[in-house]
Structure 1
Amino acid sequence: MNLATATDWMNDWDPLIILVSTVALTAITGYYAYLTRSMASSARTAAEQSRIAAEASLSSVAVAEASVDVQFDVKPGMLATLGDVRQLLSRLESEGSRPDDTVSFSKVTSWQNLLLTCRGATVTVHGLKLTYVSVQNPDPTDSNVVSSTGTYYEDMDLIPTENLPRLCHAGETVQFEVKDRSAGENLAEIRATISYSFGNGPVRAREANWTRPPVTHTHESDSTARH
């Protein structure tokens, strides 16, 4: 085939070649577009399935943790300074008390710490907030008349005596400092909110209350000395 013949052949078949090439390119482009949509759809389906699986896993963990027995006890620590005790004893001796007399230190003790005891499952303690304190105020003219003064606190964090967070097993205690409480106050009720978690999981909150046990009054408990 000489050059002239080849040129004539190209001129005759060029439209058909262009048409075939265009159709082939369109088909290839359409196929790749279909593959792209299919892959995107598969990715969305996989992501949705992963999300559902993750939510189901979190729900299972939440149900399992909710069934765990987690409890806390709180108790006030009433302490007195050595100087206050010495002054009380000196006064009682000057008033004629004998060495074998029973002595009450309630009027010189003050609320200085709060003991948190973990019960049940092992948890990580993050902190404690004081939310409510009730103090009884006996009538000085009538010992049978008692009024109460309740104080609500908003997010009053108590300072721990050790570094937190810390792991707390059943029966172990964490101590928190309590400041600026008056000596001799008659605590009736304490409410607190404890922040805790299971290991490195989300921090949760649990309330704990303390109520002063009933006091059985005797002729010795209301006096500073037994005669």
Structure 2
Amino acid sequence: MKKNILFAAVLTLCSGTVMAEIGAGVQIGTTGAGVDAAYAFNNLITARVGYSGYSYNKTSNYNDVDYDGKLTLSNIRTLADLSLPLGFRATGGLIFQGNKINLTGKPSGGTYTINGTTYQASDVGQFDGQIKWKNSAAPYLGLGWGSVSSTGIGFYADIGAMYQGKSKTTLNLTCGTALDASQCAQLRADGEAERIKVQDKASKYQWYPVISMGLSIGF
């Protein structure tokens, strides 16, 4: 009898809130804005799926090269929540990420500076590229508060990180008609050196921080 009472007390403490069977939520955070759906197996374990996305345009300077950049976030979440005391929870799973940055090189003052070499704008034809990260299925670990499947309207929040791996950078750089063969070869070599620099810089962000908050309704 005492064991049953103790077990019931632990369940009550861990759940923090009354759980509905299913719930839905809307959220916003570092992976974009999106929606979640959840199914509570019991007061301890909940399965959650969701999607969030966002796009943003910005002109930036990388390694003395000006780029028009477009950040695209696209993330599908498949997560499991384990209830902890006082309404907190531990969360783990996979985030199927399609995050990328599209880059278009642009001249500054009528010239490009690529790998320390200055080129006239007419010397360069196509100059664009893309940064992606290798783990399309990125493992995620985090902590949270609140539950998407709590009865009624509620608040939930997550903080954690997904491991998206090293970056994969492509850079398409073609020569303008004003360059001869040797100058074109130099431009291509400078372009490859620039690609490696951008890739090395982007690979520092193998762990992507995930911070979000949202409103939920459970049924």
Taking structure 2 as the reference length, what is the TM-score of the superposition? 0.26
Taking structure 1 as the reference length, what is the TM-score of the superposition? 0.25
